[in-house]
Amino acid sequence: MKVTLLTGASSGIGEAWAKSLAAEKHNLVLVARSENKLKTLCNQSSQQYGISVQYIVIDLTQPNADLLIFEETEKRKLIVDCLINNAGIGTAGDFTQIELADEQAMMQLNMITLVSLTHRYLKQMRERNSGTIINVASMAAFMPAPFMAAYAASKVFVKSFTEALSEENRPFNIRIMLLCPGATETRFFETAKINQEDKKALLGNANIQTPAMVVEEAMKGMKSNKTIIISGLTNKIGAKLGALIPNSMIMKFIANNARSTLQKIK
Ligand SMILES: NC(=O)c1ccc[n+]([C@@H]2O[C@H](COP(=O)([O-])OP(=O)(O)OC[C@H]3O[C@@H](n4cnc5c(N)ncnc54)[C@H](OP(=O)(O)O)[C@@H]3O)[C@@H](O)[C@H]2O)c1
């Protein structure tokens, strides 16, 4: 049976994506750590749409997570026709004050597990000459971000990796795409240990999207020929403007703003 494997499906953008994919009758394998949330999503979606929705509970910061997931889908005789590497976490603050273990877990999840899952399932897609892979980066992929230095660098990595791989695989009927959300109302900030006041200071009047808005654009993008999907008009304009302004100027602005407003780095 052909399935879409979606990581980080238990909340935020991933949860909204799981619901939209289910509504379009994709058979799904949902991956995250929160078993109860995954179970509820599976029951609701399979009953409502008459599709197969399964889950795998796993911590994706484990170094062998990709192997365990691959073995599980092989055991269940599933053909992963679409892989969505959505799971990701942020870290924020003065780099020296962030726990090294948190940075290492973030890098393992955002980059290494993403690359490893891509490697395993892309090999099979190449044998079948068909498949889709979507990696989730961020607007942070377009420029360095002082006080989110390692997180933004992880998303630059995801962007570069995905664009290069997309071109490599063009002759093989395999689509490899990048989704870049901007600020979105999810648990992301809480997980990054950004308190409510700092969140307000950071985002200011930014146009914050809901996960459903991001996913609506992602679903449209999946049906188009685009390699990079940036969600939201403000973010699309931001990416274009960002390319015209020197990074040094943008970084000074971000850093000065953070120093004067964020409690976390005072
Ligand atoms: N929200 C934003 O403003 C924003 C902006 C740009 C990009 N993004 C990107 O969007 C993606 C989705 O994030 P979100 O905003 O939807 O955040 P979220 O609501 O916190 O969702 C993160 C998802 O990843 C899963 N996850 C986290 N750590 C995991 C681990 N160790 N093992 C397995 N699963 C794990 C979580 O599930 P469990 O906790 O159940 O494991 C959850 O399903 C991320 O790649 C993020 O970098 C978000």
Q: What is the pLDDT of residue 262?
A: 81
What three-state secondary structure class fits 81?
strand
Quote the mean pLDDT of the chain. 95
How is residue 92 written in tokens? Answer: 């924020």
**Residue having the nearest C-alpha atom to atom 45 of ligand 1:** 88
Residue 121 annotated as catalytic: no
Q: What is the pLDDT of residue 261?
A: 83
Report the distance separating Cα 42 and Cα 6, nearest Å.
12
Q: What is the pLDDT of residues 163-182, one digit of tens each?
A: 999 999 999 999 999 999 99
Q: What is the pLDDT of residue 263?
A: 77
Report the distance separating Cα 40 and Cα 62, nearest Å.
24
Question: Model confidence at 207, in pLDDT bands (50, 70, 90)?
Answer: confident
Asked whether 126 lines ligand 1 (CB < 6 A), one says no
The answer to whether the CB of 164 falls within 8 A of the CB of 157 is no
The mean pLDDT of 199-215, rounded to a whole number, is 87
Report the distance separating Cα 253 and Cα 247, nearest Å.
10
Express as a percent the part of the chain with pLDDT over 70: 100
Among candidate residues 250, 226, 227, the one with its CA nearest the CA of residue 238: 250
The domain 2-261 belongs to what CATH superfamily?
Answer: NAD(P)-binding Rossmann-like Domain (3.40.50.720)
What three-state secondary structure class fits 158?
helix
Which atom of ligand 1 is nearest the CA belonging to 34? 40
Strand arrangement, sheet containing 228-230: 53-57, 28-32, 2-7, 79-85, 131-136, 174-180, 228-230
Asked whether 187 lines ligand 1 (CB < 6 A), one says yes
H or E element, residue 194: none
Candidate of 7, 17, 184 to mutate for ligand 1, largest count of ligand atoms within 8 Å of Cβ: 184
Which atom of ligand 1 is nearest the CA belonging to 105? 31
Question: Model confidence at 224, in pLDDT bands (50, 70, 90)?
Answer: very high
Q: How is the chain split into domains, by residue range?
A: 2-261
Report the distance separating Cα 127 and Cα 119, nearest Å.
13
Q: What is the pLDDT of residues 8-39, one digit of tens each?
A: 999 999 999 999 999 999 999 999 999 999 99
Candidate of 5, 11, 142, 213 to mutate for ligand 1, largest count of ligand atoms within 8 Å of Cβ: 11
Q: DSSP H helical segments within the chain, as ranges?
A: 12-23, 35-49, 65-75, 100-107, 114-128, 149-168, 188-191, 196-203, 211-222, 233-244, 247-261
From the CA of 9, how far away is ligand 1's center (Å)? 8
From the CA of 264, how far away is ligand 1's center (Å)? 21
From the CA of 8, how far away is ligand 1's center (Å)? 6
Q: What is the pLDDT of residues 141-165, one digit of tens each?
A: 999 999 999 999 999 999 999 999 9
Q: What is the pLDDT of residues 75-95, one digit of tens each?
A: 999 999 999 999 999 999 999
From the CA of 87, how far away is ligand 1's center (Å)? 5
Residue 185 burial by CB count (10 A; 0-12/13-18/19+): exposed, middle or buried? middle
- In the block, tokens 């726990």 appear at 99
Q: What is the pLDDT of residue 264?
A: 74
Question: Model confidence at 266, in pLDDT bands (50, 70, 90)?
Answer: low
From the CA of 12, how far away is ligand 1's center (Å)? 7
Q: What is the pLDDT of residue 185?
A: 95
Candidate of 5, 7, 13, 108 to mutate for ligand 1, largest count of ligand atoms within 8 Å of Cβ: 13
Which atom of ligand 1 is nearest the CA belonging to 15? 43
Q: What is the pLDDT of residues 227-255, one digit of tens each?
A: 999 999 999 999 999 899 999 998 898 89
Asked whether 218 lines ligand 1 (CB < 6 A), one says no
